[in-house]
Structure 1
Amino acid sequence: MQVRDVMTPSVVTVSREDSAETAAKIMGRHGIGAVPVVSGEEICGILTDRDIVLRCISNGKDPKNCKAEEIMTSSVVKVSPDAPVDQLAKEMCRNQIRRVPVVQEGHLIGMASLCDLSRNACDRDAVQALFDISMP
């Protein structure tokens, strides 16, 4: 099974200049916990609900004036849609992350989440990765 078989193809993004408040509203509207941050069509980071809380709000920044680029994670782990699911699971485990942008020829075409992986876990590596990702 390949990543394309388990990923979510519709992706909501924010720009580097969007505020943390805007990103939070987008996440709430779509029921998601992370959004890729883009500059044009290129991914330059990922912003999670946790980033907003820990890097913005808890540091006393105003979410209306705090830009996504100020609080995003800029080193983004990405995966190809043609990668095997066990490779996705290993990357998630190795990096202790729950969401991975799926990129083909430099273009964002989907997101693969822990939830996507758990719904489609069909081998021991994937199940083990689910367990390892969840460990502190």
Structure 2
Amino acid sequence: MATKVRDIMTGSPTSVSPELDIVTVARAMRDEDIGAVLVIDGEDLQGLVTDRDLVIRGLAAGGDPAHAKIGGIASRATATVGPDDSLDRAAQIMRERSVRRLPVIEDGRPVGIVSIGDLAMEEDSESALADISAARPNT
């Protein structure tokens, strides 16, 4: 049974520049079949963008998504975990911050993302959330 974030995180997270447009990022997420990307400026983690952010803060806000910058809709990365943090610690941070995904940072650099679904599959494999998270996407 896994006890550390590194055991369940998605490694080698996709990252994008805050200067990229929303459409380019949306296509990258589609092509890679992922629901979140890290926004990195140089080596600094600026935030996280989810598929929901693309819709709520990007498309629904109006304007031209081909010109709107992803950095303008990113959720700021106010909470992170380390790869050697416990799963309990990750869950506690998610609860306290009301977030579903946490960037995993090691030596100041992003090395992964851990999601509430990752935790559910590890901690409560019989739960509905674990079943949904383990299922193949229906694209």
Q: Secondary structure at the match of 1:59?
A: coil
Which whole-Å CA distance do the structure 2 matches of 1:57 and 1:108 have between them?
27
Q: TM-score, normalised by structure 2?
A: 0.83
Q: Structure 1: where are the runs of 5+ without partners?
A: 131-136
Compute the displacement of 1:46 (Å): 0.9
Paired position in structure 2 for 1:93: 95
Paired position in structure 2 for 1:33: 35
Paired position in structure 1 for 2:8: 6
Which whole-Å CA distance do the structure 2 matches of 1:74 and 1:115 have between them?
21
Which whole-Å CA distance do the structure 1 matches of 2:78 and 2:38 have between them?
9
Question: Residue type of the partner of 1:9?
Answer: G
Answer yes or no: is the 8 Å Cα contact 1:44–1:76 preserved in 2: no
Identity, in percent, stands at: 38
Which whole-Å CA distance do the structure 2 matches of 1:21 and 1:58 have between them?
13
Q: How many residues are paired up?
A: 126
Q: Does residue 1:53 correspond to 2:55, yes or no?
A: yes
Compute the displacement of 1:84 (Å): 0.6
Q: Which of 56, 79, 85 does residue 77 from structure 1 map onto?
A: 79
**CA-atom RMSD in angstroms:** 2.0
Question: Residue type of the partner of 2:118?
Answer: D
Q: Structure 2: where are the runs of 5+ without partners?
A: 130-139
Answer yes or no: is the 8 Å Cα contact 1:14–1:35 preserved in 2: yes
Q: Which runs of 4+ in 1 moved over 3 A?
A: none
Paired position in structure 1 for 2:133: none
Structure having the larger proportion of residues in helix: 1
